[in-house]
Chain A
C-alpha cells in the first residue's frame, strides 16, 4: 500500500483548497493537495462573474465599505448566517483581492472619465474619477447596495484559479490529482488522514496528515438540473457524514440560479443582469418590475428564481420539448459589450445553443446552482466533532451565506475563507503533534477493499446509473424551489428506499483499473445520504427562509427557526439525526426586513406585530 505523510492534506484543489495550501506552504508546512481532476480543471474555473469586496473604487461603488458589505450579506442570508463570520469576511475581502492582484490576477481596472452603464435595460452615464484610475473596479451583482464585484472580464474564476495554482507550483505544494478520498481515518477524536483511491490505476492509497481540509465544493449533481460540474457530487461531505460525529450544517439551503440555459443547464452569469440584461416572458413582457419594483432583475437569486417559477406557473412560460422556460434579453447591451465583457456568455450561446445573443433571446430557467450548507465549521474553519479536520469554500458551512448567498460572495468566500482558515490551520499546526494510530487506517482500508470486492463480484443486482438518475429526479421534483410537506415526505421515503437498494449495487463492467462505474458505485450510497440530509432537513424546517421556501409555511419564522440545522449520520441509521443551534452567537444586525422578496416575517420578539 502506498502511504504518504504530510502536515496538511487538502482534499480538493479548487480555489479554497489551493488558497489554504498557499497559506500553509508559505508558513513552511508540507502540504499535499488531493484532487479528482487536475486543479486547474476544478469547478472554480467555471465561475464567470466575480468576487465581492468593498473596495469602493468605481463610481457606482463610491462610499462602499465592509459595513455595507456585511449588511448586504446578512440580509441576503435572510439572517441565517453566522454574523461573526460575515463580519470577518467583509473586513478581509478587500485585502485578499489586493493580494490576488499582487500575485498576478488581471482584475479589470477603473478607466477614468465618463462611462456608460446599463441598469434594468436603461442606459445611464457616470463619471469615473481620475484619482481612482487603474485601481480594481467592480460591477453590479444582485442583492447589493453598491457595485462591489471585482472581476476579470468573464473569466474571474479561471484567472484566480490559474494564479493560485501558479502560486501553489511556486511554493512546491505537492499535487496528487486524479485521486479520490474515500473515507477519513480517525479515532473518534482526532483525524489522521484519509484512505483514497487512485483514479488512474484504481489502487487504494493511504494519506496520513496532522490536519485534513475538506474543500471539495458543492453537491449540485444530486439534482437532475444543475449548473455544477460533473465532479460536484458532494464527495467531501460524504467523508464527514460517514464519521458519524461530524455534522453537516443547513443542508436544506440550496440555491437555484435564475439563468441556467435550456436544455444543457450551463450557467450564464449574473453579470448579464448586473450589466442590464432583462427577463422576458412568452409575450416578450418584462415581468420582474411587477413583482420587485425596486430591484427588479437584481433582487437576490432566491427571490428572482421564485418569481420566475411563479410567473411560469401562471402560464407565462415558453413551452419547449425540455420543459418551460423564460427569456434572458441582453441584446440592448450591444455587440461590443457582449463580445468583450460577456464573451463567455456569447461563447456559451454559440457553442451550446447555436444562437447569437446579440440578436436573439437566451432560453433560461432556474437551475440548481449552489449549496449553502456543508461541513459545519466554527469561524476558524475547524469542523465540529473531530480535531484536525477543517473545511472551507462551498463544501463548508462556515456560515457566511445562511439561507441564501449573494452572487459574488461565494467566489470571494473561497479565497477569503482560504486565507483565514489557512492562517488558523497554520496556528493549529505550529507545535502540534498527533499520535497516528495506524490500526484505524488498516481497518479503514480493509473496509474499502471489501466494498470494492463486493461490487466487483457482481452479486448485486442494482444498476448504478439507474439509481443515481432516480435520486436526481426525486431531488429535482420534490426538493426544488417550491417545497411542501407532502412532496418532501415522499422524497424522504423514496430516498430511503434508494439507500436500501444501494446496498445491493452490482457492476455491469469488470471494474478493473480506473473504472468509472466502480468510482460512481463507491460514491452513490454516500450521495443518497447527503440527499436525505437535504430532504429531511427541508421537511423538518417549517418556515420559509432565503432559498428554502415552503408553500405550506410561507413566513420566515424567527421565533422558532432562527437557527441552523445540524445533520449527523449515525452508523447503520436510515435517516440523519437532526440537531439545531442558534443561527448566530451575536446579532450585530438584528433580524429584520430584507427589502426585497415577500418579506413576511414572524418576529423573534413576541410583542412585535407580524409584518407583511
Chain B
C-alpha cells in the first residue's frame, strides 16, 4: 500500500481508553457521593443529635477513616484526569473563551464553566476534606461553629455552587459523550439536570442555613 499507514501496535496504546473509563467512573462516583453526602448531612435538619449519630456511625465503622482518604484519592485522580483535557496555556485559554464567545452556544459555555468550577473545586474541596478529615470526630457543633464565621460561610456557598454545577453538568456530559443522552432525549435530559442542580444547590443551601441557626 502506498499510503503511510499508522497501524503499528504497542501496549501503551490502550491507555487512552482506560483513562477515559477512569475519568467517567471517578466522576460518577464523586457525583453520587456528593448527593449521598447531602443526605447524610441532611440529618442535621432533625437536629444536632441525629447528625452526630450518623457521623459517629461512619466513624465507628471506620467508613470515614478509610473511605475518606479513598475518596480523597478518587477526587485527586479525577482532577488529574480532567486536567488532561483542560486548557493550560494562556493561548489555549484565550482560544476557548474566544470560541465560546463566537459561538454563543450554551453547551460550549457549560464546558467552560466545567473547567472553571473544576479548577476551583480542586482547591476548595480539598481544603474542605482536609479540615473535616483531619479533625475527627465530625460533630454538628464543629460544623456550626465553622460556618458561623462569615468567611467560612462564603467558602461553603462557593463550594456548594461549584460542586452542584460541576457534578450535574458532569453527569449530563457523561450521558452525552457516551451516547446515553441522544439527540432525541437531550432536551428532556437537560431539564432533569437543571432540576437536579436545583435540588442540590437548594438542599445544600438550606442545610447551610440550618447550620447557621444551630445553637452551639
Contacts and interface: CB of A to CB of B under 8 A. Distances in A.
The answer to A–B direct touch (Cβ < 8 A) is yes
Interface of A: 169-172
A165 to B, nearest CB: 13
Contacts of A171: 2
Nearest to B4: A172
A170 B2 CA distance: 8
B7 interface: no
Top-6 shortest CB links A-B: A172-B2, A172-B3, A170-B3, A171-B2, A169-B3, A170-B1
Interface of B: 1-3
Contacts of B1: 170, 172
A172 B2 CA distance: 5
Nearest to A28: B2
Contacts of B3: 169-170, 172
7 contacts: A169-B3, A170-B1, A170-B3, A171-B2, A172-B1, A172-B2, A172-B3
Nearest to B2: A172
Contacts of B2: 171-172
A499 to B, nearest CB: 45
Contacts of A170: 1, 3
Contacts of A172: 1-3
A170 B3 CA distance: 7
A499 B2 CA distance: 47
Nearest to A173: B2
Mostly, the B contact residues are loop
A171 B3 CA distance: 7
A172 B3 CA distance: 6
A169 B3 CA distance: 8
A403 B178 CA distance: 56
B29 to A, nearest CB: 42
A172 B4 CA distance: 9
A391 to B, nearest CB: 27
B157 to A, nearest CB: 49
A404 to B, nearest CB: 42
A238 to B, nearest CB: 33
B148 to A, nearest CB: 62
Contacts of A169: 3
B7 to A, nearest CB: 13
B61 to A, nearest CB: 60
A215 B2 CA distance: 24
A169 B1 CA distance: 10
A62 to B, nearest CB: 40
A96 B23 CA distance: 49
Nearest to A169: B3
A171 B2 CA distance: 6
A170 B1 CA distance: 7
A257 B181 CA distance: 45
A172 B1 CA distance: 8
B5 to A, nearest CB: 10
A542 B2 CA distance: 54
B205 to A, nearest CB: 47
A175 to B, nearest CB: 12
B171 to A, nearest CB: 34
B3 to A, nearest CB: 5
A171 B5 CA distance: 12
A243 B27 CA distance: 70
A103 to B, nearest CB: 15
A468 B1 CA distance: 46
A32 B2 CA distance: 14
A169 B2 CA distance: 9
B165 to A, nearest CB: 38
A387 B3 CA distance: 32
B1 to A, nearest CB: 7
A24 B2 CA distance: 14
A149 B1 CA distance: 34
A494 B25 CA distance: 75
A153 B2 CA distance: 33
A407 B1 CA distance: 37
A592 to B, nearest CB: 51
Nearest to A25: B2
